[in-house]
């Protein structure tokens, strides 16, 4: 009898354990289950993606793939950052449905999935298309996961434009409509101490040359400084030396689509390392543009200069020419403000000269 009771109790215990296990599994968080892809077919269509469109309320950006190179349409096909493009496309393919959320349009704004047509929204419309401009996927990307239960799993609120149902999905989408976020903005960085001479020639013939006689010289001199004149303070003149330092571009235009304007300024810069930078710059509709062409001049370096260093300069020149060929770059306005100075703005009356001549 005792053994029978023990057997019954054992069976009951096993049944309770199994039932509890089933219950726990049914109630398990979705992160412990196999999740459904938000775009089930996208993984097999990645090679077909040739166009990307990201639209916000007041701005947008469009990218296209040509010969396996991604470019920014608004910048006349200027190269886009390949890793950023790859991250956006693969990010969409990796999205997994975590949970269904609201299907009520009046509540969309809480998740940021109302759509880019709504004023001041943070919603982004993300579209992938094939070579024939046929849509592969389309979705509204909203806010990041707000719940503290998110733990270490990143998530987003999303919705398909044609579907009222919104979702919380697991995954990351690094999206922006800022065009400059999709390009390499750092163009050039030659320190001011490397600059040997700067020649500025305006379209009307106003020309001047600033130079340093030797490396290590702290301040520029002006070639053919008029008698009774002196250079403007160093706080003004020193900016010429830093023109090539940390040039960050704000966009680009193809020379095939944009021609130099009549108000162009020609700038020729020599460095102590033998690099010559030929620059043409102008302003169009309040935006300053500049083109850069590089060459190596062995006459600018000492005869005993290290050969490896010379080869390094030549390689730099070749690489920069390959990169800058056929492009007008939208440069920082404060850089253009330096170059557009005219000769009369960089010289001052030398009062000490007047005192000497009057004595």
Q: pLDDT of 200-258, one tens digit each? A: 999 999 999 999 999 999 999 999 999 889 999 999 999 999 999 999 999 999 999 99
- Tokens representing 304? 């005993």
pLDDT of 325 higher than 80: yes
pLDDT of residue 306: 77
Per-residue confidence at 149, pLDDT binned at 50, 70, 90? low
Mean pLDDT of 171-194: 96
- Cβ-Cβ contacts under 8 Å for 44 (sequence gap 6 or more): none
Q: Which of 347, 344, 203 is nearest to 267 (CA)?
A: 203
pLDDT of 126 higher than 90: yes
pLDDT of 354 higher than 70: no
pLDDT of residue 301: 83
- DSSP assigned state of 37: B
Residue 222 to residues 241, 294, 295, 356, Cα–Cα distance (Å) = 13, 24, 24, 21
| Torsion angle, alpha carbons of 55, 287, 73, 37, to 10 | -30
pLDDT of residue 32: 47
Please give the mean pLDDT across all residues of the chain. Answer: 89
Per the CB < 8 A criterion, the answer to whether 103 and 165 are in contact is yes
Tell me whether residue 195 is exposed, middle or buried, using C-beta atoms within 10 angstroms of its C-beta: 0 to 12, 13 to 18, 19 or more: buried
Residue 126 sits at φ, ψ, to 5 deg, of: -110, 125
pLDDT of residue 33: 62
Distance CA 47, CA 130 (A): 9
Highest mean pLDDT among 4-18, 83-97, 294-308: 83-97
User: Poorest-confidence range of 74-88, 104-118, 139-153?
Assistant: 139-153
Place of tokens 């968080």: 29
User: Poorest-confidence range of 110-114, 148-152, 291-295?
Assistant: 148-152
Place of tokens 């412990």: 32
Distance CA 333, CA 79 (A): 22
Per-residue confidence at 16, pLDDT binned at 50, 70, 90? very low
Mean pLDDT of 297-309: 82
pLDDT of residue 27: 44
- DSSP assigned state of 251: -
Radius of gyration (C-alpha) of the chain in whole angstroms:
32
Per-residue confidence at 30, pLDDT binned at 50, 70, 90? very low
Tell me whether residue 98 is exposed, middle or buried, using C-beta atoms within 10 angstroms of its C-beta: 0 to 12, 13 to 18, 19 or more: buried
Per the CB < 8 A criterion, the answer to whether 343 and 208 are in contact is yes
pLDDT of residue 25: 47
Q: Per-residue pLDDT tens for 107-121? A: 999 999 999 999 999
């Amino acid at each position: 009898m005792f053994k029978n009771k023990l057997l019954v109790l054992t069976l009951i215990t096993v049944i309770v354990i199994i039932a509890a296990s089933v219950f726990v599994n049914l109630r398990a968080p979705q992160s412990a289950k196999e999740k459904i892809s938000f775009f089930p077919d996208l993984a097999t269509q990645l090679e077909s993606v040739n166009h990307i469109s990201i639209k916000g309320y007041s701005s947008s950006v469009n990218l296209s793939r040509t010969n396996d190179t991604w470019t920014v349409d608004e910048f006349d096909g200027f190269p886009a950052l390949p890793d950023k493009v790859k991250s956006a496309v693969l990010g969409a393919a990796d999205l997994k449905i975590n949970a269904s959320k609201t299907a009520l349009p009046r509540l969309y704004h809480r998740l940021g999935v109302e759509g880019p047509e709504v004023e001041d929204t943070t919603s982004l419309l993300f579209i992938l298309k094939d070579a024939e401009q046929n849509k592969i996927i389309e979705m509204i990307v909203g806010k990041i996961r707000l719940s503290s239960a998110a733990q270490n799993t990143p998530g987003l609120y999303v919705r398909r434009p044609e579907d009222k149902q919104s979702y919380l999905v697991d995954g990351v989408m690094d999206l922006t409509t800022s065009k400059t976020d999709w390009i390499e903005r750092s163009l050039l960085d030659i320190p001011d101490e490397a600059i040997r001479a700067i020649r500025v020639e305006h379209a009307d013939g106003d020309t001047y040359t600033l130079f340093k006689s030797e490396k290590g010289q702290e301040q520029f001199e002006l070639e053919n400084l008029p008698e009774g004149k002196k250079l403007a303070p160093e706080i003004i003149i020193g900016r010429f030396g830093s023109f090539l330092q940390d040039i960050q571009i704000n966009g680009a235009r193809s020379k095939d689509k944009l021609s130099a304007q009549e108000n162009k300024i020609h700038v020729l810069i020599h460095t102590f390392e033998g690099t010559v930078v030929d620059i043409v710059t102008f302003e169009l509709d309040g935006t300053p543009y500049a083109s850069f062409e590089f060459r190596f001049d062995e006459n600018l370096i000492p005869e005993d200069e290290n050969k490896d260093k010379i080869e390094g300069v030549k390689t730099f020149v070749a690489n920069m020419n390959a990169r800058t060929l056929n492009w007008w770059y939208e440069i920082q306005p404060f850089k253009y403000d330096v170059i557009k100075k005219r000769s009369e703005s960089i010289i001052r009356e030398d009062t000490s000269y007047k005192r000497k001549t009057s004595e």
